[in-house]
Structure 1
Amino acid sequence: MLPNGPTAPPPWKRPWRRLAAAGVLALALAGAIPAAAPAFAAEKGVFFPETFTLSNGMQVVLVTNQRVPVVTHMVWYKVGAADEPRGVSGIAHFLEHLMFKGTEEVPPGAFSRIVAKNGGRDNAFTSWDYTAYFQNVARDRLELVMKMEADRMSNLRLTDQVVYPERDVIIEERRQRIENEPADRIGEQVNATLYVHHPYGTPIIGWPQEMATLTREEAETFYKSWYAPNNAVLVVSGDVTAEELKPLAEKYYGSIAARPVPERVRVQEPPISAARRVILRDDEVRQPSIRRNWLAPSYRTDKEGYAYPLQVLSEIMSGGPTSRLYRSLVVEQRIATSAWLGYSPSSWDMTSLAAGASPAPGVTMEKLEAALEADIRTLVEKGVTEEEVATAKKRMLAEAAYARDSLTGPAQTLGAAIATGQSIDDVENWPVRIDAVTADQVNAAARAVLGQTNHVTGLLLPLQDKGS
């Protein structure tokens, strides 16, 4: 799962999961580590992967981990909700569902049954920038899932009989997970207000009126346009060597012909200088909250070198119960039950930095908002200290040392990085780049991002609360 607690990003920044998909190991959001963690030198290398490219252009990445005879097999497509044609929102997530509806070799619904019958589990998830499919299986079942995944890469067969009932499924999924959840509704509205022109403002699952008109033909067009081996990355983590994996990859994926793939062309945000405010009152709200979002650079769009300092800033402000924001609002002032600041730079285009809190009983939202603003203002004006930076980096580097112990974590981290424009070297150099961050760089990044006046504030309030 994505990290819980203060460092977890708000729900609307998370990939949209078809089911309870395994979460992403987020080096960018590394949390608190055990007190007994060993010292970790900031040397190049996190996962030490091997990589090769098939003749059709499909990249293959392997992280060998022989602790248990299990493998994680993932295929990442470099396409997500932000690549959808305007007016067809939700088609990327809809196609993710439809990928389980069968080929001539594997009937509708049989894919997951076969994986489960062989002792594994599978799932998929969609974000704005990628769509990924994964299976966790015993090492001797790797060839089986590779054969099935390669089959649906090029041989998906859709009929009206399977497409339109599944459209009803995703519409119901939206009702349950967005429309019936005030926290997700406010998140969706904050996001749509922050990104006024860019497709990141459109929900991954889609707008309801557009979801209701999605067609089989549109799903097939999206599939044929983007689901090609030369637009995909195969990442395997676990008990397998390159000598074992390469012939299997060539046999099943290498035989699929490359196809022309559209260029990722997205509109850019217009210049906006005004602060904006979104308020949602709902009778179902039991815990009010405030959140504020600022636009921020991602790894790929980072021209000023702010991405790594912002990660360190996030750790300082929200890296556990001793972090600055939590300590101020929850421990010292006792006006909040939770407080967080989150930033994830893994996006194809820009991203956001967000901060938020929930009031303690009897505390007004006005008082909490004023305190949150005061802490942000103090950060911008006075900055962080060298000691805070050193402590945060130590925790983050130790977390990186543990990252390779995970089976799914390496596959998820590497896949998401490559799909959003990073290279393997970028991932492997993460400890070195974090270790090089200085307090001056953190303070410059904080001023640049948190000093903007075009932020969006979202207030989630009970219906009976008349204050704002």
Structure 2
Amino acid sequence: DVDVAQVRRLAEKYYGAAAARPVPPRKPRIEPVQTGLRRMDFKAPASQAYVSLSYKVPGLQSPADAAPGAGDAFNRDALALTVLAAVLDGYSGARLERALTQGDNRLADSAGASNGLIGRGPQVFVLDGVPAAGKTADQVADALRQQVALIAREGVSEAELQRVKTQWVASETYKLDALFSQARGLGAYWVNGLPLDTDERLISQLRSISSAEVQAVAARYFSDDQLTLANLLPQPPDPARAKRVPAAGLRH
């Protein structure tokens, strides 16, 4: 609900005088090769423990940067890792929920998986969980890793594969209902050097990811050499510590 001509006049008034100039090239930010498990224990006031396992994985690749002969192909390992995360935690009753949070002997109050698909530089695949009462963070971490190892050994069913692909396509389609989502998506692709039709290309290429590719990435990227493990060690609250007052005018 704006006057387009007025917006143009304001844009020219405040930005028109800015001279165009070439953007300086980005300095490379190369992540050093990790050669062993990294672990962090963090103490903070909390009622429950929390564990996070982050594995270094490849991100989506611009077609312009793909290997010779790859054409318009994105990095298929990055797409397969995204499918893997969805198989583990992409819907109600997915593998992690069934294995860790359900039943009388459940290990966790919550468990999740996510894959960093789009962004500059290396990405991470994260497994995380909150131990249930009487269980430890180490037990949850072991159980999370076992679920990935199970897929590395046995793969995923065709039914699981089709379910998560259908959900991905649906989510990419529904987000087009909002102009804000469309603009945010275009901006994210542009700043990451990806083509503006990345949505369509992703959907097209994700459909072709096979069970064998998901099984292969589950076996390839989850060694200790690529793992950073973080534990939240819950501490009793300090009654003498003043409560933080949120800044005025912010939404919470």
TM-score, shorter chain, exceeding 0.5: yes
What amino acid maps onto 1:313 in structure 2? L
Kindly tell me: are residues 425 and 275 of structure 1, through their superposed partners in 2, closer, same or farther at Cα, counting changes over 3 Å?
same
Percent of counterpart pairs with the same letter? 24
Structure 1 counterpart of 2:94, from 305, 310, 323: 323
Q: Which residue number corresponds to residue 82 of structure 2?
A: 311
Q: Which residue number corresponds to residue 247 of structure 2?
A: none
Matches within 5 A, 1:289-438: 289-300=50-61, 305-332=76-103, 333-438=105-210
Kindly tell me: are residues 404 and 335 of structure 1, through their superposed partners in 2, closer, same or farther at Cα, counting changes over 3 Å?
same
**Deviation of residue 276 (structure 1)?**
0.8
Q: Which residue number corresponds to residue 271 of structure 1?
A: 33
Kindly tell me: are residues 362 and 260 of structure 1, through their superposed partners in 2, closer, same or farther at Cα, counting changes over 3 Å?
same
Residue deviations 1:335-393 (CA, integer Å, cap 9, x gap)? 21111111121112221111100011222223222222222222223222222111111
Matches within 5 A, 1:106-125: none
CA separation in 2, counterparts of 1:399 and 1:426?
14
CA separation in 2, counterparts of 1:142 and 1:287?
52
Matches within 5 A, 1:144-159: 144-145=6-7, 148=10, 154=15
Kindly tell me: are residues 331 and 265 of structure 1, through their superposed partners in 2, closer, same or farther at Cα, counting changes over 3 Å?
same
Q: CA RMSD in A?
A: 2.3
CA separation in 2, counterparts of 1:408 and 1:355?
30
Q: Is the 8 A contact 1:290 1:357 kept in 2?
A: yes
What amino acid maps onto 2:88 in structure 1? M
CA separation in 1, counterparts of 2:197 and 2:87?
26
**Deviation of residue 273 (structure 1)?**
1.7
Larger RCO (alpha carbons 8 Å, 6+ apart): 2
- In the superposition, the TM-score normalised over structure 2's length comes to 0.80
Q: Which residue number corresponds to residue 91 of structure 1?
A: none
Kindly tell me: are residues 151 and 314 of structure 1, through their superposed partners in 2, closer, same or farther at Cα, counting changes over 3 Å?
farther
Matches within 5 A, 1:42-53: none
Q: Which residue number corresponds to residue 216 of structure 2?
A: 444
CA separation in 1, counterparts of 2:144 and 2:207?
29
